[in-house]
Structure 1
């Protein structure tokens, strides 16, 4: 039965738009798809804090059914009115319930992925570790929390992947059309990093290095922004521990080891 404890968290603004989280969904259904396929039972995926509209949970279910037809997507919201708005859209493999970072699921259920987008961005930075820890306790053994932020229509996104042991990676995902420089994503960094984009912090150095390489490879623009981005990231890989390759870079996406960009102590 669902937990009867009071939901942990606060109501957020709830702003959302159709297709806003497509970049993260593509990553979950791509490099992280093994987490769904490995599950012996139907994998549970949580859309935590989906907002005023249940659209992103519906889209997540549609996309992940291509990976595992029996996937169970659960939209969790702390606002009862938002849960009520989702109820008419429930179907086999898609449900909505009241809750927060305690991730209330049926007894024994542990999610393979918890996607929390544009949620912690609205919290104080010092509350992030406790929220992560609470979700981590609920994850399946190979589970992952995806704590991310994106702009209003999903052109720029960034997310931290957190497993049971702690943060694993930072992913940046950018629409290359109209991109002036990779650091345009800076205002969409997750809460754990957004205030650390200052000189002396690793994430600032990482974005600056991407920008410098982007500027050096300006001539590649003759063949399109994708070729310029590929050349940019290939150069940066010589100095930073990237965890992906050209197949993801072609999508405007790049993932770096968290240890390389983690905030400095103090």
Structure 2
């Protein structure tokens, strides 16, 4: 089922069942980014949705465990279209409540059936939708964004992105409550990195087909690779130093690179207008 026009009342979850690939620790990079986001930290009663968590509820448990370190009292709701996946996640939750496994028995995590309509009990602070829209057409993205952001609390955000199977290559778009994209973040494991453009194959659906000459995101990867290659001279000081050197060169050449405090994590964030499709 394709995303339906915003505002239409649906009796069944909106969207397609994902492939369900789930790996422990796969979403650690985006989780830690969300944990530091002002929207989460400013919320009086934060509710975070893990939309399309897949065949296991582990990403929802991990999300709650990471967020509670900086935002005690956060609640995480995992949503899936497939009722079998919801049943499995609730069985995992029962084990957690019984003190089995590594997650806190009092983890504020729940699971329910739902899709892009985000059937949450109250307005949502953050919707994290990872590896969900990859199977859709690019033309479906805006409608899905509108549906998900319609459930956001004032000041809330949608974090929509993609990563590889073990979470070493991640990209995500921050989308505001008005359904307008704000930024693109690329997060990479720096040890062993050959070129930053490895992230091109993991771009969110809104950009993945735009990595061609003449598009801004292609210009971004061309510049990142060039400055990364030029920074090889400082490789003896380690990959983090090389990455910082490359990003500073990006800034010096006019790229509006943001959040220098997170460069050490292998991240680079740019405003949406620097990468938006032409």
Determine if the TM-score, normalized by the shorter chain, exceeds 0.5: yes
Q: Deviations over 1:144-193 (max 9, x none)?
A: 10111000000000000000230000000000111001101110000000
Q: What RMSD, in angstroms, separates the aligned Cα atoms of the two structures?
A: 1.2
Distance 1:116 1:158 in 2: 12
- Residue 21 of structure 1, aligned match among 4, 7, 27: 27
The aligned counterpart of 1:38 is 42
Query: Aligned runs of 1:74-223 on 2, under 5 Å?
Result: 74-90=77-93, 92-106=107-121, 109-165=122-178, 166-223=180-237
Distance 2:199 2:16 in 1: 26
Instruction: Give how far 1:88 is off.
Output: 2.6
8 Å Cα contact 1:36/1:67 also seen in 2? no
Distance 1:77 1:243 in 2: 33
TM-score by length of 2: 0.90
Distance 1:255 1:152 in 2: 22
Distance 1:4 1:128 in 2: 18
Q: Deviations over 1:103-137 (max 9, x none)?
A: 0011xx11111000000011111101100010111
- Residue 16 of structure 2, aligned match among 10, 15, 20: 10
Unaligned runs of 5+ in 1: none
* TM-aligned CA distance change 1:178 to 1:92, over 3 Å: closer
Unaligned runs of 5+ in 2: 1-8, 94-105
Equivalences, count: 256
Instruction: Give how far 1:4 is off.
Output: 7.5
* TM-aligned CA distance change 1:163 to 1:51, over 3 Å: same
Greater alpha carbon shift after TM alignment, 86-95 vs 215-224: 86-95
- Residue 65 of structure 1, aligned match among 65, 68, 75: 68
Distance 1:9 1:233 in 2: 38
Deviation >2 Å, runs of 4+: 88-92
TM-score by length of 1: 0.94
Distance 1:205 1:37 in 2: 34
